Amino acid sequence: MDVTFPFGLPWPTATYLSLYVATLTLHMLLMHYVLAGAAWLTGSSLVNLRRSKPAQQTTIAKALQDWLPFALGGAITAGVAPLLFVQILYQREFYTANLLLSHRWMSILPILILAFYLLYLQKSTWLNHRAAVLKPWVWLLITSCFLFVGYSWTENHLLSLQKQDSWTTFFAERRYFFARWEIPLRLAIWLASAFTTLAAVLAWQLCNVPTPEVAPISKSSDQRDFTSEWRGLRTASFLAIGLSMGLSLGYFFTMTLETRTIVAGPLAWPYILLTVAAWGTQIWIWWRMTAPKHGTSRMLLALSAAVVVTTLGMNVIREAIRLAEVDLATLFPRHADAANVGGAGVFLFFLILNAGVMVWVVRQVVLHLNANGDH
């Protein structure tokens, strides 16, 4: 393709691609918080278990434990829209991958239900009264559930990019797993980028700035602990950005020459530059913010914008890789037929309505927590 995404395409295709990437970005940001937050608590609980005297729960741990159930619900809700758009865009490819993976693909649903209830179990007094050794294993199980879901989606995505012959062979051999070397690499990139989002959200919390996404931290918290946790966030962010850049570059050079040429060409190169610039912006901002007192609203807004731009750019690049493998021109008539069905007004109405309701609910929870002096 010799045009930049999503320009130069018929308006139905361009519209669906744009909406897909935009809604996927929202879903990914929420899932970043959920996955990286669960992984963070898994690591911190295992470290705490090894100590002779367990440390008091940190501000970050308390905030994550309180907000992860809500964030998971938001991520699942936000995942409905991109799921619908990907079916419109790649109906045959997406459904074929679903059918070939069969019941194991559908196991995503019970796994998510299990993770959802385990997140609430972490908040219960029942678990707090059990042996301390139990809690890290529960967090490890929760993180494993999210990694399984990410693995399944990645596997499904890569299987959908295969040709007819590969699908026929997969079915004839009665295989249940689509083993590809790209899967662990893609998962590693996703996990690394998740920690950059998590660090940005937690920065808002530690700086006691009320936002619709998180509850502000109690002003009675120990500033020394804040400084220590802030350093942990900076270190985690630097490492995550470095890993994201390194792994993404490594993945780029493992692509076929044809795919690499298309992705690095007019289709996605502006987004590659935008993503690199956003990574650099995150590094610069974290370098400047050496302590919570340096986290002004302006700096945190810039950091948040950089995280959103990074996620958006990476999603466009991900879609460009798919477009390099799929003959998009053959799909134009399907997209045009879907656009003639109607329903755009209904979609926009409920999009605005649901977004407003979610913001209102989060705001009410934040006000309630503030009134009770909780995190």
Q: Are 2 and 266 in contact (CB under 8 A)?
A: yes
* pLDDT reading at 25 higher than 70: yes
What three-state secondary structure class fits 8?
Answer: coil
Amino acid occupying residue 74: G
Where does the pLDDT of residue 17 fall: very low under 50, low under 70, confident under 90, or very high at 90 and above?
very high
Query: Measured in whole angstroms, how far is the alpha carbon of residue 211 from the centre of its chain?
Result: 19
Q: What is the pLDDT of residue 26?
A: 93
d(CA 230, CA 208) in angstroms, rounded, equals 13
pLDDT tens digits, one per residue of 255-292: 889 889 988 899 899 999 999 999 999 999 999 888 77
pLDDT tens digits, one per residue of 50-100: 765 555 567 788 888 888 998 999 899 889 889 999 999 999 999 999 999
The answer to whether residue 245 sits within a structural domain is yes
Q: Are 306 and 278 in contact (CB under 8 A)?
A: yes
Residue-by-residue DSSP string for 218-268: PTTS-HHHHHHHHHHHHHHHHHHHHHHHHHHHHHHHHS-HHHHHHIIIIIT
* pLDDT reading at 153 higher than 50: yes
Q: What is the pLDDT of residue 146?
A: 95
CB neighbour class for 181 (10 Å; exposed up to 12, middle 13-18, buried from 19):
exposed
The answer to whether residue 2 sits within a structural domain is no
Q: Are 338 and 235 in contact (CB under 8 A)?
A: no
- 89 vs 228: which has the higher pLDDT: 89
Q: How many helices, marked H, and strands, marked E, lie in the chain?
A: 15, 0
Where does the pLDDT of residue 149 fall: very low under 50, low under 70, confident under 90, or very high at 90 and above?
very high
Q: What is the pLDDT of residue 295?
A: 66
* pLDDT reading at 370 higher than 80: no
Where does the pLDDT of residue 371 fall: very low under 50, low under 70, confident under 90, or very high at 90 and above?
low
Q: Are 112 and 104 in contact (CB under 8 A)?
A: no
d(CA 200, CA 234) in angstroms, rounded, equals 9
The answer to whether residue 136 sits within a structural domain is yes
Q: What percent of the chain has pLDDT over 70?
A: 89
The answer to whether residue 278 sits within a structural domain is yes
Query: Residue 367: which H helix or E strand, with range?
Result: helix 344-371
* pLDDT reading at 250 higher than 50: yes
By residue range, what is the domain housing residue 18? Answer: 11-371
d(CA 160, CA 147) in angstroms, rounded, equals 20
Q: What is the pLDDT of residue 177?
A: 86
| Domain count along the chain | 1
* pLDDT reading at 213 higher than 50: no
d(CA 308, CA 289) in angstroms, rounded, equals 19
pLDDT tens digits, one per residue of 316-366: 999 999 998 888 888 889 888 888 887 777 877 887 887 788 788 777 766
Q: What is the pLDDT of residue 224?
A: 43
Where does the pLDDT of residue 222 fall: very low under 50, low under 70, confident under 90, or very high at 90 and above?
very low
Tokens of 111: 């796994």
C-beta contacts of 338-344 below 8 A and 24+ residues apart? 338/12, 338/16, 338/88, 339/11, 339/12, 339/15, 339/16
Amino acid occupying residue 110: P
Terminal-residue alpha carbon distance, the chain: 50
pLDDT tens digits, one per residue of 297-320: 888 999 999 999 999 999 999 999
* pLDDT reading at 221 higher than 70: no
pLDDT tens digits, one per residue of 98-129: 999 988 888 999 999 999 999 988 887 777 76
| Sign, CA torsion 323/325/327/331 | negative
The answer to whether residue 97 sits within a structural domain is yes
Alpha helices in 107-173 (DSSP H): 108-122, 125-128, 134-160, 164-172
pLDDT tens digits, one per residue of 156-193: 999 999 989 999 999 998 888 888 888 999 999 999 99
Q: What is the pLDDT of residue 217?
A: 44
The answer to whether residue 175 sits within a structural domain is yes
The answer to whether residue 187 sits within a structural domain is yes
The answer to whether residue 6 sits within a structural domain is no
Phi and psi dihedrals of 309, rounded to 5?
-65, -40
Residue 369 CA: distances (Å) to CA of 73, 166, 199, 262: 19, 54, 21, 50
